[in-house]
Structure 1
């Protein structure tokens, strides 16, 4: 009968354990955010330039997000978009700053019946991963890389700027080949 050597067996188990731990930890690379966000400068209207497709934005184009400061230190969010047939859609929510993040990580919750029943479960991560010094362009994502938005203060963004933001998102591990660009979502006029 074959008897395994105790030292070899221990080494093999250690290698398997370490390999398993490395595989388990390697799923999500940490996602870096910008160092500091001045929320007063961040408020106002942002135009969606591109996004990863999301069920809650299906059929939306010409999307905007307008942020304003609440008295309690949170931000009010009003997301709007157009839909075919000139139908507009609006979602209102609240963003709260995650402490000790330089205002770069927010928890966002939109007002609906589910969020009123279980508010903390319906909060989403809203991480500012790129923001130009003049607060004219921003890239928002979250650690799983399932959500990504490129926003600007103007409805159109030059291709050079767009490509630079695309490259930045790609280096952070986002599937930029799946991005939907806002100008491509508009219905064609016939």
Structure 2
């Protein structure tokens, strides 16, 4: 019986390692964030690939407090930091009022919704890691257009520690000056 259990556990571990985002899906949100720390403009430093942002550069996400949630405008420039602007608007509400680290975001008038978790936040360094609850998508966001190299490397190391494949990260071009 114990041998069978060992084989099953080994097979499950191998399967989890083979699936992109499987280990990352077990990452948990931070225990608590202050909602005021979410407000303002965030700049995209890195992300896992996704269809919506293919070819996006100089990405931003503007969070404005709106009633019991936030109005969020995400934008990027297609092809280059000076390329055509694309925007998507969303509504975010806190999905877990104990931690404030889980958000339910709805897009296109509520037709599409997704839960996002703040997996790490370093207010003193001005960055946070935001991911979908299933670990399929992830963003490293900064309060400044460009993170200093040492801080960026620290944040990427944290992403790896959370179980994400940092070899898949895209580093879109930031906004110019």
TM-score in same-fold range (> 0.5): yes
Q: Hey, which of these two has a bigger chunk of helix by percent? A: 1
For 1:46 and 1:32, the matched residues in 2 are separated by 21
Q: What is the Cα-based RMSD across aligned positions, in Å?
A: 2.7
**Distance in 1 separating the partners of 2:59 and 2:93:** 22
1:170 corresponds to:
160
Aligned match of 1:5: none
- What residue in structure 1 maps to residue 43 of structure 2? 47
Gapped regions of structure 2 (runs ≥ 5): 17-21
Query: Is 1:133 the counterpart of 2:142 in the alignment?
Result: no
CA deviations over 1:111-143 (Å, ceiling 9, x no partner): 25xx43xxxxx3212111111133711111134
1:86 equivalenced with 2:83 (yes/no): yes
Q: Distance in 1 between matches of 2:133 and 2:4?
A: 29
CA distance in 2, matches of 1:76, 1:90: 13
What does residue range 3-14 of structure 1 map to in structure 2 within 5 Å? 11=1
CA distance in 1, matches of 2:126, 2:89: 23
Report the 3-state secondary structure (helix = DSSP H, G, I; strand = E; otherwise coil) of the residue aligned with 1:125. strand
Say if 2:4 is the partner of 1:15: yes
2:97 and 2:144 map into 1 onto residues whose CA distance is 30
**Alignment of 1:159 onto 2:159:** no
User: How far apart are residue 19 of structure 1 and its match?
Assistant: 2.5
TM-score, normalisation: structure 2? 0.80
Distance 1:174 1:143 in 2: 13
Larger Rg: 1
Higher share in strand = 2
User: How many residues were matched structurally?
Assistant: 165
* Aligned residue number for residue 137 of structure 2: 147
2:28 paired with 1:32: yes
TM-score by length of 1: 0.75
The answer for unaligned runs of 5 or more in structure 1 is: 1-10, 117-121
